[in-house]
Amino acid sequence: MKQRLDQSRILIYSHDTFGLGHLRRCRSIAHSLVARYKGLSVLILSGSPIIGSFDFKARVDFVRIPGVIKLKDGEYTSLGLHIDLEQTLQMRESIIYHTAATFKPDLFLVDKEPTGLQGEVTSTLDMLNQQGTINVLGLRDVMDEPSKLKAEWERKQVFPVLENLYHDIWVYGLGNMGSPVEGLELSNAITGKFTYTGFLGREIPSDRNWVAPISLDEPFILVTAGGGGDGVEMVDWVVRAYESDAGQPYRAVIVTGPFMPPGEQQEFHERCDNLSNVEILTFNSHIELLMKKAVGIVAMGGYNTFCEILTLDKPALIVPRSVPRQEQLIRAERAVKLGLASMLDPAGEREVQDMVEALRALPHQPRPSSQQIPGLLAGHETIAGMVRQYLEPSEQESITA
């Protein structure tokens, strides 16, 4: 008898507006699972406008749903379609629901947003729950400042969904980094569903056919703004440091991210053209290979970049944003306490000398592995074990069948 796991299907909902974080996390999980289980198929639902720019392994595919973008005032608007938001959300919910109904997943993994954008996955969760699908919510190690998260989840009516429609809740981190739901006073029925998986170690792609976008002859510090939509302040701080200190011992390679506003990108390119020891790129789909070559990394502290820093065991300087969410700031503060990284807070004066000194010290920091934290990067292994537990029948069940 063929085991159920060999024929299983997993559907992943990636809450994407305009960044890269959710998509990259879901893609990492999907690739890890199909590498371990040769009969497994994974389908990713995503609103990312650049999902087609990424490579996917065999048995991993995606459905692109109409995109939306979050405005500075916190409201959403349609990204590519000239129709109002309500119609876009109706289309998204319909595509999600009917894709799930047709694909018939054995497990439905929802990334970060328990009810989806504007509640768009609730109907799908209910339908799949009635059909016996395992519904799982995946949360980052840090969500937001507790009072803000509590108010948000109350407004979105998340708590009954967590209690009634989800079987399990995975936290992609470690308990000693704190709880993403600290201070929310959740019911025992909800807290009993939590599992801390460890951070998601990243698979580093082969550089066999990779054409490096820069010269690799001289060592460099990599500065990455992630998607780039909110990385202007960090990049400016680094560029100012190099403008004021021509004697920086290592050159900088800056990756602004594809979503940084074009005007700011152009300004940074013009400023960096005048600096002999700074190179600037917009985007590279194999940024992990640049990180691997770097002597140190300057980043904003998003979840995926943090996992890459841990995986590659690189000295890191985190420059976290604190609005509209405090997620990156909280993660950076906890990482500093555990000796995993250093930090500069951009909410202060952003004195150029502080960045000059931090950049000079960065390559000499202890590597994350020096802290010897058990299970730090066990995320994929833990998830694979739980998927096997869900979807592979026990020996007794097989005999009964």
Strand partners, 139: 171
Asked whether residue 275 falls in the same domain as residue 391, the answer is: no
Contact 180, 204 (CB under 8 A): no
Number of neighbours of residue 11 by Cβ within 10 angstroms: 24
Written in H, E and C, the secondary structure of 229-265 is CCCHHHHHHHHHHHHHCCCCCCEEEEECCCCCCHHHH
Contact status, residue 172 vs residue 138, Cβ threshold 8 Å? yes
Which of 10-19, 70-79, 95-104, 345-354 is the least confident region?
A: 70-79
**Bridge partners, 296 (sequence order):** 221
Structural domain of residue 245, as residue ranges? 220-371
Residue 207 is assigned to a structural domain of this protein: no
Measured on CA atoms in the order 393, 98, 80, 116, is the torsion positive or negative?
A: negative
- Is pLDDT of 398 > 50? no
* Residue 214 forms part of a structural domain: no
- Asked whether residue 209 is domain-assigned, the answer is no
pLDDT at 244 > cutoff 50: yes
116: left (phi over 0), alpha (psi -120 to 50) or beta: left
Under a CB-based contact definition with an 8 Å cutoff, are residues 392 and 326 in contact? Answer: no
**What is the reported pLDDT for 400?**
40
How do residues 135-159 score in pLDDT, each as one tens digit? 999 999 999 888 999 999 999 999 9
107-111 and 220-224: which strand pairing? Answer: unpaired
45 and 182 belong to one structural domain: yes
In a domain, 118, yes or no: yes
Same domain assignment for residues 332 and 242: yes
At 281, which CATH number? Answer: 3.40.50.2000
Q: Note whether residue 210 is domain-resident.
A: no
The residues that bridge with 136 in the sheet, in sequence order, are 109, 168
Q: State whether 32 and 173 are in the same domain.
A: yes
pTM of the model: 0.88
pLDDT score for 162? 98
The number of domains in the chain is: 2
- The residue that leads in pLDDT, 56 or 313, is 313
pLDDT over threshold 50, residue 302: yes
pLDDT band at 66 (very low <50, low <70, confident <90, very high): confident
Contacts (Cβ under 8 Å, ≥6 apart) of 359: 221, 238, 241, 248, 250, 252, 298, 317
Q: Helix 21-36 crosses helix 379-391 at what angle (to 10 degrees)?
A: 60
Mean pLDDT of the region 274-291: 93
385 and 337 in a single domain? The answer is no
What would the mean pLDDT of 125-137 be, rounded to a whole number? 98
Give 73-89 as a DSSP string.
TS-EEESSSSS-HHHHH
- Please write the tens of the pLDDT for every residue from 147-193: 999 999 999 999 999 999 999 999 999 998 889 998 898 999 999 99
Is 22 in contact with 15 (CB distance < 8 Å)? yes
DSSP H helices, 104-194, are 122-131, 146-155, 158-164, 188-191
- pLDDT category of residue 68 using cuts at 50, 70 and 90: confident
Residues 228 and 176 in one domain: no
